[in-house]
Amino acid sequence: MKVRKFTAALFALLLAFACLLAVGCADENGNEDENKPGGGDEVHYTITLSEAEHTITEDLTFTLTATVSPMGTVHWATDNNAVASVINGKVQAKTAGTANITATCGDASATCKVTVTPASGEVTVLQSDVSEYALEAGGAAVPLQFAVYNIAADGTSTRIEDAVIEYSVTDGEDNRFVTLEAGALLPKNRHGETQVRAQYGDIAAYADVAVYDAFISTPAEWCEMLESRSLGEMFLLTEDIDFAGQSYTGMNTSAPADGSSGAFRATVNGGGHTVKNITLSGSGYLSLFGRAYNAKIRNIAFENVTVAATAARAYGLVVSAGGNALVMENISLDLRFAGVPTEGAVLMHTFYGGQLSGIVATVITPNGNTEGDKVKLVRGGTPSASAVYVLGEGALASAGEARAYVHAIAMAWDVNGEKLLDQAYWQYGTATELPELLNR
């Protein structure tokens, strides 16, 4: 069993896009942003901070920058005002210790851990070397990796090797998912999420814990996972998966339907891994996950996904999205059409909406394709979308409802010139067309 440290670096490309978007900042009274997309409708945001950790000497200040998509009001808070305060992103270091500075916009938040060192002397901190402990239900125990450090005024840290740390786990009903065993986490036979608390003297620190039904590392295990129809099951990718020479089976290719019966209803955490060299073939409704209902698919890259059948109806990620709780976030998709499908969508066909966040899609179609309007960005109902970027390479003339469902196609990646392109490089034929690249 492997424990992996998931970091934002796994999706640096997504963050590079997001960091170039505009930001709306709150005033000190925390007034609402009246210009949010949808005219007051529910909006789902993404937010990133310019730093995830910062060490500073007491009595000094530094400024955090929050990047939000779509534009919205940012609210700032600190969990330890005695150590560090914050106003509109400006952090004031007060006394030695640690504080978490959090920026929130709507349902999204991002945190910077601030360590304040004394003007002279040193400060003691407790932290986990793993941001999330991933365990497999019924699997082996995983050692905890908390440590205590002395941090000098110049930022130099020294680990205290003989530090005695006490641990506890609380998850609503005591120890439903994991128990503690000699400084390690022992998973039970049920999935779920909780936190572990570490205590050293009067210093406390926390780390997230997730217990998955199964770890996925092979094409066969992936296809078996797709057969899951149990609401809320949790799966974690622990390796990249290559379908070269392998059949992609297990997805439901029946016509779209709005019910949950027979739909994929699990949580898939890609852990920053890649699933690649997939061929979708046949004459039915083709997609990576088939019908999905209240599923959660995140932190994963799909590379070289080819729709081989020109007579097929191709829907990229999901043939039929039912349930507003459907979430797809932090995903990159490389989708290629061997020919013009009968109809289709880059991302999904939806009945009840769903949430799209932090998605970069490259859509490659044959040159000379004059029927690109058959492939829309999204078909059906209206999902909530933010930080979704699509590049149509080849002759994808239109993706239908692109601007209706994506609040900000502010820029895209030029795969030929290998550079970011802002709005000045794009033109819109109508309000519902995928933007076309200008000759510049």
List, for residues 16-54, the tens digit of each pLDDT value. 443 333 333 333 333 334 334 333 445 678 898 999 999
Alpha carbon of residue 285 to chain centroid: 26
| Average confidence (pLDDT) over 345-355 | 80
> What pLDDT is recorded for position 403?
32
Q: What is the pLDDT of residues 287-296, one digit of tens each?
A: 999 888 889 9
Name the DSSP letter for residue 391. E
End-to-end CA distance of the chain: 51
The pLDDT score that the predictor gives to residue 353 is 74
Assess contact for 25 and 239: CB atoms under 8 A.
no
pLDDT, greater one: 384 or 366: 384
The helix or strand, by DSSP H or E, that contains position 404, with its residue range, turns out to be: helix 402-405
pTM of the model: 0.68
pLDDT, residue 366, reads 62
Q: What is the pLDDT of residue 417?
A: 39
Cis peptide before 70 (omega within 30 of 0): yes
pLDDT at 302: 93
**What is the predicted pLDDT for the residue at 253?**
63
Q: What pLDDT score does 391 carry?
A: 66
User: How far apart, in whole angstroms, are the C-alpha atoms of residue 359 and residue 381?
Assistant: 18
Say if residue 286's pLDDT is above 70: yes
**pLDDT tens digits for 56-69?**
988 899 999 998 88
Place 227 in a pLDDT band, splitting at 50, 70 and 90. Answer: confident
| Span 85-112, average pLDDT | 90
Query: Could you tell me if 91 and 75 are in contact, meaning their C-beta atoms sit under 8 angstroms apart?
Result: no
